[in-house]
Amino acid sequence: MDELRVHSTLRLPDDSLARIRGVAPRIRLTSRPLTPYEPPAGMERDLADVEVLLSYHAAFEMAAAPRLRWLQMGGDGVDHLRGRPVLQSDVLITNARIFDAPIAEYVIASMIAYFRAFPRMLERFQRGRVWPANQWDEYAGQDAAGKTMIIVGYGSIGRKLARIARSLDMTVLATRRSAASPVREDGVEVRPPHALRELLPGGDVVVVCLPLTDETEGSIGEAELRAMKRTAYLINIGRGKVIDEAALLRALREGWIGGAGLDVHARTPLPPDSPFFDLPNVILTPHMSGISQGYYGRVTDLVCENLRRYMTGAPLLNVVDKQKGY
Ligand SMILES: NC(=O)c1ccc[n+]([C@@H]2O[C@H](COP(=O)([O-])OP(=O)(O)OC[C@H]3O[C@@H](n4cnc5c(N)ncnc54)[C@H](OP(=O)(O)O)[C@@H]3O)[C@@H](O)[C@H]2O)c1
């Protein structure tokens, strides 16, 4: 029986590695974990005989991995592979798409924290110990019910988010690349990307769930931000560079929009002197919206299922379209 050489740079716990080895006796799995953000210097040394790579990274020359057939990413975005040889090669790339539930929950948490003034209450009341003169006047927040959410990029995350938002009695509108004309999907009106400008003035919450591609980079700029309501809350869980950050900074300082929840940033790590840290109308997180304690179980389920498919020649889950870039 031919050995199947699999190498992982994912940070998988031992029980996950054991589950992957347990998929079939012919699997020979090696593991040298890298953090998702660690510069992947030297990963080539492990790839000479590898057919299947489980990784967050693929910054190597193809000559270092002559037998590589399939790259399973531990994350979703493949924007960091732009210009990398693997994207020009015939290696099959699959991504994770296991972030729909944790990110949908994160978006709802951010929206409600903003609507219900949690940051201000934690700062002034809990940390400052100041009982308000009139808490109804000072802290009465906004209702989600009756508001409109616009989801920019109606993929796996957007669809999960829409279901929760609709259960909160919100109206949900969305855009997706392949929508040639307006369609209704599960109670959500889905429009083509060019319709976004018309939708924005009606949005109370605008959630950017876009991959970073040549098309989407900088696609939320001054015109889009100025088209939003002055009270709108903009949440970005896609990629930082989809939004023109200089324009966003002005929008937040000058009140073109009400506030922003930003999990992704044009520069990662976000530098300590970033002006976004000083804005009272921003809820910032360090690119972790997709990571909950269930991550390792979910990514292991996916890897095991895709390995089974790979070994039987069945179509793999979550194949990345290299032309489209997601
Ligand atoms: N913050 C985090 O921790 C985190 C974690 C996971 C993912 N992400 C980011 O979130 C992105 C989306 O994830 P996903 O799992 O939902 O991906 P997905 O299922 O591939 O969905 C991407 C969606 O974006 C749409 N799209 C692409 N270009 C567009 C455009 N120009 N205008 C409007 N819609 C466009 C696609 O349209 P079609 O359906 O028509 O193709 C698709 O619906 C990922 O690519 C990644 O960058 C971030």
Do 256 and 141 lie in a common domain? yes
Do 156 and 223 lie in a common domain? yes
* DSSP classification of residue 127: I
Q: Alpha helices of the chain — where are they, by DSSP H?
A: 14-21, 85-88, 100-115, 118-120, 135-139, 156-167, 196-199, 222-227, 245-254, 295-312
Phi, psi of 244, rounded to the nearest 5 degrees? -75, 105
Find out whether the beta carbon of 261 lies less than 6 Å from any atom of ligand 1.
no
Do 137 and 246 lie in a common domain? yes
* pLDDT by 10s per residue, the chain, length 326: 799 999 999 999 999 999 999 999 999 999 999 988 776 778 899 999 999 999 999 989 999 999 999 999 999 999 999 999 999 999 999 999 999 999 999 999 999 999 999 999 999 999 999 999 999 999 999 999 999 999 999 999 999 999 999 999 999 999 999 999 999 999 999 999 999 999 999 999 999 999 999 999 999 999 999 999 999 999 999 999 999 999 999 999 999 999 999 999 999 999 999 999 999 999 999 999 999 999 999 999 999 999 999 999 999 999 999 999 99
- For residue 121, the model assigns a pLDDT of 96
Do 237 and 305 lie in a common domain? no
Rounded CA separation 33/74 (Å): 12
- For residue 35, the model assigns a pLDDT of 85
Do 277 and 299 lie in a common domain? no
Do 55 and 115 lie in a common domain? no
Cα 80 to ligand 1 centre (Å) = 14
Q: Would you say 17 and 8 are in contact if contact means Cβ atoms under 8 Å apart?
A: yes
Instruction: Please say whether the dihedral angle defined by the alpha carbons of residues 284, 287, 291 and 293, taken in this order, is positive or negative.
Output: negative
Cα 210 to ligand 1 centre (Å) = 4
Domain-located, residue 248: yes
Do 22 and 122 lie in a common domain? no
At which of 248, 267, 284 does a domain end? 284
- State the CATH number of the domain containing residue 130: 3.40.50.720
Do 266 and 189 lie in a common domain? yes
Structural domain count, the chain: 2
For a mutational test of ligand 1's pocket, the pick from 56, 76, 181, i.e. the residue with the most ligand atoms closer than 8 A to its C-beta, is 76
Do 78 and 117 lie in a common domain? no
Do 152 and 257 lie in a common domain? yes
* DSSP classification of residue 215: T
**Bridge partners, 70 (sequence order):** 52, 92
- For residue 295, the model assigns a pLDDT of 96
Tokens of 39: 């510069």
- For residue 31, the model assigns a pLDDT of 97
pTM here is 0.97
* DSSP classification of residue 271: P
**Bridge partners, 171 (sequence order):** 148
Find out whether the beta carbon of 237 lies less than 6 Å from any atom of ligand 1.
yes
Closest CA to 255 of 278, 233, 286: 233
The identity of residue 42, as a single letter, is G
Owning domain of residue 246: 100-284
- For residue 42, the model assigns a pLDDT of 84
Domain-located, residue 322: no
